[in-house]
Amino acid sequence: MEDDEKKKKKSRVLIIGATGRLGYSLTRFSIESGHPTFALIRNPTLSDSLKSLSDAGVTLLKGSLEDEGSLAEAVSKVDVVISAIPSKHVLDQKLLIKVIKQAGSIKRFIPAEYGANPDKTQVSDLDHGFYSKKSEIKRMIESEGIPYTYICCGLFMRILLPSLVQPGLQSPPMDKVTVFGDGNVKAVFVNDVDVAAFTIKTIDDPRTLNKTLYLRPPGNICSMNDLVHLWEGKIGKKLEKTFVTEDQVLKKIKETLYPDNMEMVFIYSVFIKGDHTYFDIESSGGMNGTELYPDVKYMTVSEFLDTLL
C-alpha cells in the first residue's frame, strides 16, 4: 500500500527526442524510477530501441514538434515535459512552449539545454547563433511563466574527448598532442547516460524548480594539461606538446567555413574562454547536481579514457 502511494506521487513524464542517445537514456531512467512515462514518436515503426522502451512500460505517442494537435494531446497526459532534441533544432520547441502555456497544467518543463549555459558563453560573435537560440528559448519559457529546470552539463564525453581534443582525429594521439591556449583552463565532461540520471532526479525535487542545475562532477573537471597527463599515465609515455595560442585559434575559426569551424568554436569557448567554469555555481543562482544527488554514480574522465585503450 505504501509503495502504491509513492507511485501515485510520481510525476507523469513526456520525453521528446526519445530515439536519440540522451533521450533514450532519459526515457529509460524515467520509467525505471517509477514515473509513468510517455515518448512522442514521429515514426510509429518500432525500432529495436523503441521496442525495448515499449516493453519496459513506456507509452509511445505518435506526433511531432510541428503538429500542434498531437503535442496538445501528449502534453495533456503528463505533469512534466522533457525535451532532448538536437541543439540545431532547438527553436523547434517554440510550438511546444505555446502548447504547454495553453495547457496550464505542466509542473515542470526541462528544455533541450544541456551543454554550456548559453547565457554564460562568451563566443556569440563566432557561433552562428548556436547559443543565442538556446537563450531565446529560455526567455520564451520565462516570459510565459512556465515552471522550468535547466540542465547544464558541459560537454558530453563523446564530443572532443575520444580524440583528446585533437580536431580531425578519431582516437587519442600516441606521440604528439596539440594544446589550445596555455592548457590550464578547465572544461567539464559528463557521459550522456549520467546526464540523464541527474536530470530525472530533478523531476519531483522542489529545490530545482525554476533553477539551473549544473553538473560539474569531481574527476570530470579537466584542463587540456590534465587530459594529456591522464593519457600519458595510461599509455606509459610522454607526448610531444605543441601549444596553439588564442590568436591562432581565432584565425583558424575565421578561415574555416561554417559549420566546419564549429568544433574549433567549442574548443575556443571551453578551453580558452573557460565558459564551463569561469563562474561560481552558487553565486550565479544555480544548483550543483553532484552535491544535490550524491547517490548518482557517474563515469569519470579517467574511466572514459580507459575505454579508448
The residues annotated with a catalytic role in the active site are 134
Neighbours of 299 (CB within 10 A): 19
Spell out a b/e string for 172-185, using b for 16 or more CB atoms within 10 Å of the CB, else e.
Answer: bbeeebbbbbebeb
- Helix, strand, coil shares of the chain as percentages rounded to 5? 40, 15, 40
**CA dihedral in degrees (74, 76, 80, 83; nearest 10)?**
30
Helix (H, G, I), strand (E, B) or coil at 177: strand
The CA-atom distances, in angstroms, between 72 and each of 103, 104, 235, 267 are: 7, 11, 54, 39
Residue 220 cell numbers, joined: 570530470
Closest by CA to 200, choosing from 295, 62, 85, 97, is 295
For residue 129, give the amino acid letter: G
